[in-house]
Chains A and B, each alone.
Chain A
């Protein structure tokens, strides 16, 4: 039996069972481990765990205990989130982690954007995502754990520092930094952002749509259009032809947001953050590659992700060309 399985068996009573079975690591997720297992009662659960010594490539991930607290805050707002059953502290046998209910649905972006199973529900997904964001953005800031606050200019400065530190010379990234800094909107109406709201981090059910919003590690306070722009960033379309996550249209996203009580957001602001999203992901890919280059994470995934920056650059190029 693995150390992790032993540790999970020890907390099984707190999860509502006597023991755990079928522990296995799910693919993907390099900065955080995701494990699936079941209780002896048959209830399927998910463990999210930070590997010992792991940092996020940009150092802006919240502690998992904060993530768990934010999921609970989102529950109160009526947002679709998993139930958090147990939070485990750094240094414990399980490590920094939390256990949540397993929700039935799909997170593979390509299946959601293109798969036949989602053909019927797909036209409704952008509207539902708008509703979900309105609920998250309505979470009162009072009583939340300490969170970073970041305007467009703050975000650009943060990622430009990462980019300059890495020492890469990429002229399209230079052009995008300059273009976006010259047009950075002020942070007029700060809200709590999910921070990583994109196709791949949202579980969709093929019959009912949005089932659970996952991956709350990058929650921060900022411009509500940031979450929308990230959902529309071309890197997260998975070959789907539509701008919102590859599955939907801007108008439906904005309409869903307003229908759920969100303050209307101009499309132009969403498009600004969409471009910033491509720039940010391009820098983050470089940053994740750096953890390979310096030996922190020698996996082929970390090496190869450095070759995805060019995807972001070609998307930025298309946007710059449109702006010209």
Chain B
């Protein structure tokens, strides 16, 4: 595997091309879709940089809550099933703390400027 250019660098170059060269030539709906496209690339960039550690942390929290091992999808499924059937109380402090930490990490990737992120993360 090569080290350079990194995936974030490639994404940055595409974002710059779209914003500086392509976007000025678009109007109406295409201009709108162009802004969405840039937002999508920026989210991918953040996921590459932050997604791995966020998921690792979520797995550690889930193991403690559920008292078992597994990958993220398996443990997250178990949590969802437990909340759905009532065997896990979402208002249990450890569960609340996990849900809160996980969603803060996710919104930092998806929409870091969203007002609700400031509300919840202080």
Which residues of A approach B to under 8 Å, CB–CB? 24-28, 169-172, 174-175, 177-179, 234, 237, 239, 299-301, 303-304, 307-308, 310-311, 313-315, 317-318, 320-321, 323-324
Contacts and interface: CB of A to CB of B under 8 A. Distances in A.
Nearest to A302: B36
Among A27, A175, A315: residue with most chain B CB under 10 A: A175
Contact of A301 (B33, B77, B86, B107): B33
Interface residues of B, number: 36
Q: 6 closest pairs, A vs B, by CB? A: A175-B90, A27-B32, A174-B83, A307-B110, A314-B116, A310-B106
B99 interface: yes
Given A300-B36, A304-B43, A314-B103, 9 more contacts: A25-B29, A172-B103, A300-B40, A301-B32, A304-B36, A311-B114, A317-B103, A318-B119, A321-B96
Contacts of A301: 32-33, 36
A202 B59 CA distance: 43
B80 A171 contact: yes
Contacts of B103: 172, 310, 313-314, 317
Interface in B62-92: 73, 76-77, 79-80, 83-84, 86, 90-91
A303 B40 contact: yes
For B31, B90, B119, which residue has the most chain A Cβ atoms within 10 angstroms?
B90
Nearest to A306: B110
Contacts of B84: 174, 177-178
A110 to B, nearest CB: 11
Contacts of B32: 27-28, 301
Contacts of A318: 116, 119-120
Interface string B34-75: 001101100100000000000000000000000000000100
A315 B116 contact: yes
B100 to A, nearest CB: 6
A312 B53 CA distance: 23
B11 interface: no
Contacts of B90: 171, 174-175, 178-179, 320
A323 B84 CA distance: 18
A122 to B, nearest CB: 17
A39 to B, nearest CB: 21
Contacts of B40: 300, 303-304, 307
Contacts of A26: 28-29
Contacts of B106: 310, 313-314
Contacts of A308: 110-111
B15 interface: no
